Amino acid sequence: MKRTYLGEFEEIVLLTVAVNEGQAYGVVLMNEITEQTGRDVRLNQVHSALQRLEDKGMVKSTLGEPTAERGGRRKRLFTVTAYGHRTLQEIQEVRVSFWSRLVNPFKLIVH
């Protein structure tokens, strides 16, 4: 199975874009990832990942309307492309198949 390589962080960003469909732009994505993963994510990392995802054709972007709070600057809103969706799907399938073949599933440690 051949597909474009997707880094772990890229995968998270792509998933976050998919979750926040219609509202996905840099700041929102950064806050969301920080919240969900607890990592300290920098804005430029998010932008960089988005840029790479766009180059790979997994997301596409449009410019939104200018808003006053951003100094009149427009937002770049991202949506996942069909190719992006398929890629996410494939990743998920690969993982599921590996999990299903696990003979002794790990015991979940509950805190």
Partner 1 sequence: MTKQDLKPPLFAVRFLTWLIAPHLLESILGDMQETFDQNAKRLGKRKAQWMYWSEMPGYIKPEFIRRKQNTYQSSPIISHYMIRNYFKIAIRNFRNNKAYTLINVIGLTLGLACCVLVFFTVRYELSFDAHHKDIGQVYRLLRYTKERGDKGLATGIPLPVLDALKNDFPALKNQIACTYALKGTLVTVEQEGNKKKFDEDYYAIAFVGPEYFRLLNYEWIKGSPEASLTNPGSVVLSEKQAERYFGKADPMGKTIRINNQKDFVVSGLIADPPATTNFPFTTLISFSSLKDYGAYTNWDDWASSYGGGQMYVKLPQSMNQADFEKQLTGFNKKYYDAKAAAETSFILQAVNDIHFDNRTSNYAGRTISKGMIWTMVLVGSFILIAACVNFVNLATAQAIRRSREVGVRKVLGSTRFQLLRQYFSETAFITVLSVLLALIASQLALPYVASVLNIPAQGVMFISDPVVLAFMFALVVITTILAGFYPAMVLSGFQPILALKGKVKTGGSGQAHLRRSLIVLQFTISQVVLIGTVIAYNQMQYFQTMDLGFEKDEIVNITIPESDFAKMESLKSRLASETGIRSMSQSQFTPMSQSNWQTGFKYENDTEFLNFEIVMRPADTAYVHTYGMEMAAGRMYLPSDSIREYVVNEAFVKAMGMKRPQEIIGKRMAIGGSDYKFPIVGVIKNFNTYSLHREIIPCVMTTLKGNYSKMGIKLSAHSDKNLLSRIEKVWSSVYPDYLFKYTFYDETLNSYYSKEEKLFSLFRILAGIAVFIGCLGLYGVVAFMVESRTKEMGIRKAIGATAFNIFGLFSIDFVKLVVIALVIASPVAWYGMSQWLQDFTYRISISWWMFAVTGIVVIFIALITISFQSVKAALMNPVKALRSE
Cα–Cα distance, 25 to 33 (Å, whole number): 12
Minimum distance, C-beta of residue 70 to partner 1, in the bound complex (Å): 4
Q: Which of 11, 18, 26, 81 binds partner 1 (CB under 8 A)?
A: 26
Please report, as residue ranges, which positions from 33 to 62 form the binding site for partner 1 (by CB under 8 A).
Answer: 42-45, 47-48, 51-52, 55, 61
What minimum distance in Å lies between the beta carbon of 69 and partner 1? 7
Structure tokens at 9: 């962080």
User: What are the two backbone dihedrals, phi and then psi, of residue 46, each rounded to the nearest 5 degrees?
Assistant: -65, -50
DSSP assignment letter at 64: E
Q: Which is nearer to partner 1, 27 or 94 (CB)?
A: 27
Q: Does residue number 74 form part of the binding site for partner 1 (CB under 8 A)?
A: yes
Distance CA 104, CA 102 (A): 6
Distance of CA 4 to the CA centre of its chain: 15
Residues lying near partner 1 in the complex (CB under 8 A) are found at 25-27, 30, 42-45, 47-48, 51-52, 55, 61, 63, 69-71, 73-76
